[in-house]
A and B are shown apart, each in its own frame.
Chain A
Amino acid sequence: MAVTSETRKPLEGYVQADPEVTIDGNVATIDARGIYYKQLNEAVRRCLAEGVDKVVLQDVNGQRYIGTGIRGADKHIEVFGTAGQDMAMFMDGPTVEVFGNAQDGVGNTMNAGKVIVHGDAGDVLGYGMRGGTLLVRGDVGYRVGIHMKAYEGHVPVMVCGGKARDFFGEYMAGGTLVLLGMGSNSDRPLVGGYLGTGMHGGVIYLRGEVEPWQCGKEVGIFEADEDDLARLRPVLEEYCEAFGVELAEVLSVPFTKLLPTSHRPYGKLYTYV
């Protein structure tokens, strides 16, 4: 039979027990198999508090809140498997790298740091993200980059390597959101509808073209020019370095730029009692 039948894990799904932690110099390795998220994340935080720079999580499957609320620019977490809901939420500084797919809510309200996902990511990616970098190699779901914002020195950057669904960049208020449409297994369009709807800040770059009907009425569609490409280059280089992609291939297709036409898109919607 093609489905799992070996009793390698408890049928309970997760057990509420401390995971096995192996520390080798600056690196801690944790066997996450079947460990409930609470104990797993406690172990991660304990390792980081004890001065470990890098925590490697093996055999992760769906555990929530990995890297959520952690701080410190020089800390690294590597996740092998499928990362669960709300990974790197409120994160402020560290780097989380996922070798696998990530579920919904990655980088929710993230402040600083870096998230690298080598597979696909789910819905509501980078919701309200205020700073830091989020790189995804594969496809992403609905409502990605929703309400990304910028504030003083914080300017968030997100690059999605594959394709995206509806509401990409919805309510976007700041930062840079990039969609490449490369390396996707699906034959669907680059992006769905309601693209940048409600956008009132920041910039969206798409590798390829979009139809006007796909875009919210608050955005203008432009060809990316030399200045744009110059601004994009460091972002794309970071993406290429993370995933071993050739920059030339990324740049082989012209980019489209989406900008909000107003910082107050609904200024005329209301009247006063």
Chain B
Amino acid sequence: MPQTLIQPEFKVKIDYDKCHKCGRCVQQCGWNVYSFNERPIPDDAKCRACHRCVTYCPARCITIEKNDLAFRDNDGWGPALRKSVWRQAETGGVMLTGMGNDKPYVNIFDHLVLDACQVTNPSIDPLREPMELRTYLGRKPDAVAVEPDGKGGFRLAEELAADGWLDKNIQVDTPVIFSPMSYGSVSLNVHRSLAMAAERLGTLMNTGEGGLHADLYPYADHVIVQVASGRFGVDPEYLSRGAAVEIKVGQGAKPGIGGHLPGEKINREVSETRMIPQGTDAISPAPHHDIYSIEDLRQLIYSIKEATDYKPVGVKIAAVHNVAAIASGIVRAGADYVYLDGFRGGTGAAPQIIRDHIGLPIEIAVAVVDQRLRDEGIRHQASIVAAGSIRSSADLAKIIALGADVAAIGSAALMALGCHLCQGCHTGSCSWGLTTQKPELTRRVDPEWGAERLVNLVSAWSHELQEILGALGVNAVESLRGSRERLRAIGLDEQTCKILGVKPAGM
């Protein structure tokens, strides 16, 4: 009987006339595609098209092609579905994958266009005139109360000044932060790169649920520390180090699903950071077992606040059908920000069936949450963080116009560090040294190099956002935030437009 019915997805072609026979490809590939017998011999079946070997081949003699085997046409049974059936018939396993939903759902971002000024109001030159991206994340007072300062002017009223609300807001210099990716799912060098970049950019990185490695303590003012259902690495010290604490309820790539970091990834340092024994599996339960209802969330939010002298506490949820009501409850429970993760968001590992079929697009989630919070008059009580496939500064501007305060980027940040979206994060063999703990792979990311690339990416997006603001004739990002009047839809149905609060183009 054949071992498998599944044929390789890719073909690795080597032009042996050009090949130096240097073995670099053998050494670079994390997937063990190559063996070496006088020359490199590829095993196509192992290739994930991550292009590590292609990038490092000094002779530029490797190409990766699609193995485009013909299948008899069947609109219902595409090749991917047939392969899944074969794979599961062979193994009896749940299909596991990495990164985000890759199915061709309508991408709303690509059906939204932005406005610009012509004549009746001027566009503004973002290079030479002020163009402010500074954003405060957190709860704002209902109103500003003032009192005379005794010198003919005014100062904050005593109760407001004493409340110190401003100190409980986090200032970011650009409305882009890094999404939570745990140490364990990604390497320490990735964490170092993110932390250094966050500090230089005046923004935030997020530990994910894997604890905060001691190397990152100097960057703590730019780190959000996460508390998830596994409570890995959570102790008072950890909570007190972050700029904010985030309770992770769910993740866009796998709403309602817990996590599982296999024991092979739990080396000494991961074990110390997560505060669990080396080599044991790190299991995050699907729910927090101290949150079975909204009042329990409130209880947890306030226990964290009590433990941290009232630091900002955010709550991250996956965008699901009832996201507006859930977010409203979260705000009323006392959260300082709500982190919404759309269904295209990435993951280190998720069942494919969950990743590809559960949740909502982030565009819809932000639109309905922002509107609901406004309808209830509590929009100012919490900021909205949006994530789940923010792919460019255009997506960034559009999600802000729909109502987000800041966007979080994870996949884009990993791509800045070399990720090619090969969806092999769960294997622990990432050739780019990102989603792995193998020392020979993790050292491939030099944190200084990584930080520079992340700073470049976010700076470039920030410049582009400034260009967009300038074209819109506003010079502060708060004038775009929630300004759906500056968006129009092309090719979206009436109901979707209504839900987004966006008029069709031409209106």
Contacts and interface: CB of A to CB of B under 8 A. Distances in A.
Interface of A: 167, 170-171, 194, 197-198, 216, 266, 269, 271
A26 to B, nearest CB: 43
A197 B128 contact: yes
Contacts of A197: 127-129
A198 B126 CA distance: 10
A197 B128 CA distance: 5
20 contacts: A167-B128, A167-B129, A170-B128, A170-B129, A171-B125, A171-B128, A194-B128, A194-B129, A194-B130, A197-B127, A197-B128, A197-B129, A198-B125, A198-B127, A198-B128, A216-B128, A266-B127, A269-B127, A269-B463, A271-B460
Interface of B: 125, 127-130, 460, 463
A266 B127 CA distance: 9
Given A170-B128, A171-B125, A271-B460, 17 more contacts: A167-B128, A167-B129, A170-B129, A171-B128, A194-B128, A194-B129, A194-B130, A197-B127, A197-B128, A197-B129, A198-B125, A198-B127, A198-B128, A216-B128, A266-B127, A269-B127, A269-B463
Contacts of B127: 197-198, 266, 269
Nearest to A199: B128
A64 B254 CA distance: 66
Contacts of A271: 460
A198 B127 CA distance: 7
A167 B125 CA distance: 12
B239 to A, nearest CB: 37
Contacts of B125: 171, 198
A194 B460 CA distance: 22
Rank and list the top 6 A-B pairs by shortest CB-CB distance, nearest first: A198-B128, A197-B128, A170-B128, A198-B127, A171-B128, A266-B127
A163 to B, nearest CB: 20
Contacts of A171: 125, 128
Contacts of B128: 167, 170-171, 194, 197-198, 216
Contacts of A167: 128-129
Q: Which of B128, B130, B463 has the most CB of A within 10 A?
A: B128
Contacts of A266: 127
A192 to B, nearest CB: 12
A216 B128 CA distance: 7
A171 B128 CA distance: 8
Contacts of B129: 167, 170, 194, 197
B75 to A, nearest CB: 35
Contacts of A269: 127, 463
B174 to A, nearest CB: 16
A222 B128 CA distance: 21
A36 B361 CA distance: 60
Contacts of A216: 128
A266 B460 CA distance: 13
Nearest to B459: A269
Nearest to B130: A194
A266 B463 CA distance: 12
Contacts of B460: 271
Contacts of A194: 128-130
Nearest to A146: B128
A134 to B, nearest CB: 21
Q: Which of B127, B130, B463 has the most CB of A within 10 A?
A: B127
Contacts of A198: 125, 127-128
Nearest to A143: B129
A269 B456 CA distance: 11
A171 to B, nearest CB: 6
Nearest to A266: B127
A9 to B, nearest CB: 32
Nearest to B456: A271
A198 B128 CA distance: 5
A267 to B, nearest CB: 12
B124 to A, nearest CB: 11
A171 B129 CA distance: 10
Contacts of B130: 194
A194 B129 CA distance: 7
